[in-house]
Amino acid sequence: MLLDLEKSGCVDGMATDNEGNVYLALPSAASGPGIYVMTPAGVLAARLALPHNESPVNLGFGRGPEAGTLYVATVGAGKVYRLRTGKTGSLPPR
């Protein structure tokens, strides 16, 4: 198990980078809404908060020149944020 949702709230969106890290959009986590970055070993590496403590609902990495950018949609405010992660999103298998 990577994450116990009973303690962490509801995951609404998910993306992975090319290093195997998992980016989880948690709009209602007990420790605050944000993007939670989990390592392949299941360790919380970071919590990326959005401006005004907005709640993320979906996310995805860009492609091409924007490959190191994570795009995050929010609930309520209807905004999309661009976060520069320095990581490249993993591509799904063909």
Q: For residue 71, give the nearest of 22, 8, 25, 9 by alpha carbon.
A: 25
pTM of the model: 0.87
Top CATH class, 5-84: mainly beta
d(CA 81, CA 52): 12
Domain boundaries, the chain: 5-84
Tens digit of each residue's pLDDT, the chain (94 residues): 566 656 667 888 999 999 999 999 998 877 888 999 999 998 999 999 999 989 999 999 999 899 999 999 998 878 999 999 989 998 766 6
The half-sphere exposure of 37 on its side-chain side, counting CA atoms within 13 A, is 14
